[in-house]
Amino acid sequence: MPDEAELRSELVRVAQALDRAGFCPSKSGNVSVRWRDGLLITPTGLPYARMRPEDVIELDLFGEKQAGALDPSSEWPLHSGVYKARPDAEAIVHTHSPMATALSCARIGIPPFHYMIAICGGPGIRCAEYATFGSQQLADGAVKALWDRKAALLANHGLIAIGSTLEGARVIAAEVENLATQYLALLQAGIEPTPLGEAELRRIAEKFESYGKAG
Active-site residue set:
75
Question: Measuring CA to CA, which residue among 137, 112, 136 is closest to residue 124?
Answer: 112
In this structure, what DSSP letter does residue 150 have? S
Find how far residue 105's CA is from the centre of its chain: 17
Pairwise CA distance, residues 28 & 9, whole Å = 20
- What is the crossing angle of helices 98-106 and 166-188, to 10°? 60
Pairwise CA distance, residues 199 & 205, whole Å = 10
Residue 174 and residue 120 in contact, taking contact as beta carbons nearer than 8 Å: no
Pairwise CA distance, residues 13 & 18, whole Å = 9
